[in-house]
Structures are given as C-alpha cells and as structure tokens.
Amino acid sequence: MVRITPMASFSVRPSLSASRFTGFSRSGLSIASFNTTRRIALLHLGSAIPQSQYVGLKASEMLRGEGSNVGMTVAGNAAQASTGDSSENLLDWVKEDKRRLLHVVYRVGDLDKTIKFYTECLGMKLLRKRDIPEEKYTNAFLGFGPEDSHFVIELTYNYGVDKYDIGSGFGHFGIAVEDVYKTVELIKTKGGKVTREPGPVKGGRTVIAFVEDPDGYKFELIERGPTPEPLCQVMLRVGDLDRSIEFYKKAYGMELLRKRDNPDYKYTIAMMGYGPEDKNAVLELTYNYGVTDYEKGNAYAQIAIGTDDVYKTAEAVKLSGGKVTREPGPLPGINTKITACLDPDGWKSVFVDNVDFLKELE
C-alpha cells in the first residue's frame, strides 16, 4: 500500500466546471456575465461531494442545500429517467450512448504562470477565462481546439492557495507532437523542466519525453503524426486493472483499445476510450504490481464526459458497482443535467447532458 502524508487542512473552492509514483518505473468565448444563481449552479457542476477538509463553508452550505432542493427537482423530473429498463438493456444502451471526454479538471497555484507555460511551451490556446471573486476562485480553459469538439483542460485557481498535493495516484497527461526533440528544446529555452529526455520508449520505437509544468504535473510528449486531438491521454493508477477495465466498459461504455504488460518493470497498462488513440483522448489506466491503493491528494479533481441521458448513466454506474455521489438531475438556475460518480478506485467523473453542455458554451 502506498501512502503519502496528507497536507495540512485548508479551505479550497471546488472547480466551477461540469465538472509516477516516483518509486515506479512507469512515469508517468468568455462568458460575459453570471448572476448569483448561475454561479452557484456551476459550482455544483465541478464538485460532487468534495472532501470536507478541502471545502470552505459556503460550498458546504450549498451542498447541504442541494440535498433538499435538487432532490425535489430530481423527483419532479423522474419521468425523464428511463430507469425501468432491464439491466441488460441499460448496459446495451451505454454502448450506444453518444459519449465523449469533454475536459479534465485540476487545481494550480499560479494561474497566469501555468497559462504561460501551456501556451508558450505546449502550444495550447487559452479558450476562455472567468473570475468569480465572490467565491474566491478563477477558472481557465485551455486546449488545442474549441470545447464543443476537443478534449480540453480546466484549471482552477483558489485565491491564496499556491500549492497542492498531487498524490501518488495521478500519473500524467499525454500530448501528441510531431517532433518531440524540437518540443523539448523549446520547453528548455522557456525554462521548463524536462524529467525524461527524448528517445524511444523502452521496448518500443515510439519517441517520447516527459516534462513538468510549474505545479509538478507531468506531461508525456508522444511523437505522432498530425492528429485531431493532441491532448490525448490522462493516466491514472488503479489497484485492480481487470476490475477497472470491466467497470469502464460496462458503466462508461468505453472500449479496451489495448493492454500491455511489462513484467521487466512490473506494471501493466490499459488504454480505454471512445475511439482510436490517434484520433481521440483516452484514459490510460496503470497497475503497478502489488500496489492496491494510492493517495489522491487534493490537486487532481475529475474528468467530465458527455452523455445523452444522465439518468440512465447513473443507473448503469450503480449496476456496475460504481458509487453515484450526485444523483442525476438539472442544476439549479441553469437546468444543465449532470450526475457525478466514483469508479472502484475512487476516481471521480462527472457526466453532462450533451445538449445542455452545448448550450452552456453559447
């Protein structure tokens, strides 16, 4: 079991959006205005039952209020939930649901410094940025294309918090580039930290390198031809790979794209996603031999996934052994329907109604 001493308790605002282990060899549109109701509603979208030590009083109060108000809203919309389907039909529906990875959410200590690194060194664009002074946090969305068609990053800066614990469970993000060597040289000239020089991956021919952003998040640079989705991976560590694969297939409707065991370095990986790796962002699950538990820290938050029906999604998650932490239903004030859940290892995902998500981007 891997343990990392937790950080001292402090108040951290949840995200606004809808939201290697060092001992192992595997490395790892601006919105013009928000009224108060809309701000509170969007706060729920990025946070479903946060850990108490990381959440301020206002967020806690809003979550407590959600228990009654949203509960009634969900009950009032029960007719929308097609939960009368048989288990078999429901899991078949999951495979046909129009799902896509929307964005990944995590916290940073210096938003401007991080934006500068991502845009100048990694080639991302700042898509939008919004400050919510009443709740003391700011969000920035970055990526290689618009949010309605690309997987993007949502950064959250909480006023006055300049450091987070990434933990041992989060691994890295992956970015496909056409020339790893040139990209690494650029990053070095900008003062970036290179933790693995460019070269072929061990046991293969793909050229990779590893770099760190200002907060210590690792990015794997993967040499690949032109791709519609350069932000191509999120790597998380799990304690039982077969269990995780089955869960993501059944509950999330993902495909097992490939699986590779590396006994020399004592780890196995599985690539899960909604389409081929060279055209879509994927989830890379890593199992390190003999390690069944990891500390998640308070830096990485969640992945958001689009769905045509949050009600059916929640039922499928329950049927597959996952934990629903935010029952499906519309958010107060904006009526965007979401549900939030945890996988068997406690990694959080938020499912967002596809139509509602596009409306939110308008």
Q: Is 120 annotated as a binding residue?
A: no
Q: Is 212 annotated as a binding residue?
A: no
List the domains of the chain with CATH numbers: 91-172+233-361 (3.10.180.10)
Q: What is the pLDDT along the chain (362 residues), one digit of tens a residue?
A: 333 333 333 334 444 343 433 334 344 433 333 344 444 444 444 433 233 333 332 332 222 233 333 333 333 344 344 445 688 899 999 999 999 999 999 999 999 999 999 999 999 999 999 999 999 999 999 999 999 999 999 999 999 999 999 999 999 999 999 999 999 999 999 989 999 999 998 878 999 999 999 999 999 999 999 999 999 999 999 999 999 999 999 999 999 999 999 999 999 999 999 999 999 999 999 999 999 999 999 999 999 999 999 999 999 999 999 999 999 999 887 789 999 999 999 999 999 999 999 998 88
Question: Burial, 114: exposed, middle or buried (Cβ in 10 Å; 0-12, 13-18, 19+)?
Answer: buried
Indicate which residues carry an active-site annotation. 220
Q: Is 360 annotated as a binding residue?
A: no
According to DSSP H, which parts of 190-309 are helical?
241-250
Is residue 202 within 8 Å of 210, Cβ to Cβ?
no
Q: Are strands 170-177 and 218-223 parallel, antiparallel or unpaired?
A: parallel
The pTM score is 0.80
Residue closest to 247 by CA, chosen among 300, 277, 285, 282: 285
